[in-house]
Structure 1
């Protein structure tokens, strides 16, 4: 049976045809060389069966990458690592704020801003030169849940309320409303965002400047990509507002608080340094 005839089941329950091209592209993003990629593709291809889940394919590819080099596996698990920032949305808000901060913005998280009609709790405020961004973060801890058109509709109305208040009171007016999600926007949500002038940022949108593109380009990976830290250790670091791997390098003393041995500590540091410079 040809590879393209295999049905795979996505996390949403949707049935699609297996795509060797998509798997190859995701492996390339990990930084693995062509020889390693072709080897992994060959193994996965031989193990395909009708109705296999995308999770099973991911797990197999991840295990094979980890055998090659842990930093490859870390980059490959980026999407899953962002889900692991949950279950609450606050670490994701910190993560988005940190990405903007490393891009030169001054950021604030969880601020109350007065609108014309009511006050609003805004997830992230970011300022740089003439840019004044009001950002709402929509985090989903479960795969397969996308943001429909109701989300940008609601956020746009909040942005307009804040904008009107600032305009009427002679204050500096926010000039961009953003919605950021770790999943995807529906076609209608994107259509509304483009029409209303609302900036939408998701896992794969906009093309070439999506969340995954920005993370790879800036080397700003969430701490949850580590293949050496345990879930308990990751949660401890998140509770101390360490959301980026780069932040751990700058505040390595937190590993001492966890009672991690020097030998293991060095392995973790090496993994993260390779990740941030790869």
Structure 2
């Protein structure tokens, strides 16, 4: 058991340093032999919820991201995330390479570079993103750069940790990545927390049916849900107004 890991988890969830220490103390008191990581996380949520009531509306961020539909929702999520960090985004583009054409998940542009972004989503969030994804990204990148569009770099964005083998290959080939806790100074979870880019699946009351209907309407972030006209959204998605109002209120509390 790593007490500091509990403290860091609390701080990521916007607890004050004092609250984080109090929660860690309480979790230590409630520990027992054989306790699972999942149970420890439940204890963290329970105890931190006494200081931050909005937590009663949400599940663990890592689990929430894994619950997004891989296509199109996680791809849309990645596009919006990169957009928030200053890129212009083009989704699902067909681009000619020197040998064949490729369907590109995301193209991200700013004044300095054009990125080919390979998006990889895992439903099992404890899985590692391995070498194969990076090999595919490098192969596609090389073919694309023989075509009409000149890409600066390839980037892999995923919702899991990245294997050491894949990381070493990426560094060797100049392939950037955003994964869970990687890079250390700007992992996916840090980028989400920094700008509160929480997926709609973080809401405890979000059913798969409602999630799918919102996703089909292009809504994958709490920020999008919080600013939508609820009546218009109910009409376009078929989700009852009362359900959407409750979800939007929960979203507002989390985003404060």
**Same fold, TM-score > 0.5, yes or no:** yes
Extract unaligned runs of 5+ from structure 2.
Answer: none
1:57 equivalent among 26, 35, 40: 40
Who is 2:30 aligned against? 47
| Greater alpha carbon shift after TM alignment, 62-71 vs 110-119 | 62-71
Who is 2:109 aligned against? 127
Who is 1:108 aligned against? 90
Who is 1:185 aligned against? 162
1:152 equivalent among 125, 134, 157: 134
Q: How far has the Cα of 1:69 moved from its partner?
A: 2.8
Q: Is the 8 A contact 2:114 2:150 kept in 1?
A: yes
Who is 2:240 aligned against? 259
Alignment of 1:27 onto 2:6: no
Q: Output the CA distance in 2 between the equivalents of 1:273 and 1:246.
A: 8
RMSD: 2.4
Who is 1:269 aligned against? 248
Q: Output the CA distance in 2 between the equivalents of 1:34 and 1:190.
A: 32
TM (norm. structure 2) is 0.87
Q: How far has the Cα of 1:212 moved from its partner?
A: 1.3
CA offsets 1:14-70 (integer angstroms, 9 cap, x no match): xxxx11111110111111234543443233223323332211211222233344434
Q: Is the 8 A contact 2:59 2:203 kept in 1?
A: no
Q: How far has the Cα of 1:83 moved from its partner?
A: 0.9
Q: Is the 8 A contact 2:192 2:198 kept in 1?
A: yes
CA offsets 1:75-132 (integer angstroms, 9 cap, x no match): 772111101113x342111000011222332212222211111221111111222321
Q: How far has the Cα of 1:270 moved from its partner?
A: 4.2
Q: Is the 8 A contact 1:193 1:199 kept in 2?
A: yes
CA 1:80 to 1:120, structure 2 compared with 1: closer, same or farther past 3 Å? same
Q: How far has the Cα of 1:231 moved from its partner?
A: 4.4
Q: Output the CA distance in 2 between the equivalents of 1:133 and 1:74.
A: 36
TM (norm. structure 1) is 0.81
- For this pair of structures, how many residues does the alignment match? 252
Give the alignment of 1:1-278 within 5 angstroms: 18-72=1-55, 77-86=60-69, 88-166=70-148, 172-253=149-230, 254=233, 257-261=238-242, 265=245, 268-277=247-256
Q: Output the CA distance in 2 between the equivalents of 1:164 and 1:70.
A: 54
| Greater alpha carbon shift after TM alignment, 66-75 vs 229-238 | 66-75
Does the residue aligned with 1:129 lie in a helix, a strand or coil? coil
CA 1:229 to 1:107, structure 2 compared with 1: closer, same or farther past 3 Å? same
Q: Is the 8 A contact 1:26 1:76 kept in 2?
A: no
Q: How far has the Cα of 1:153 moved from its partner?
A: 1.5
Q: How far has the Cα of 1:162 moved from its partner?
A: 0.4
Q: Is the 8 A contact 1:89 1:138 kept in 2?
A: no
CA offsets 1:151-188 (integer angstroms, 9 cap, x no match): 2122101111001123xxxxx41111110110011112
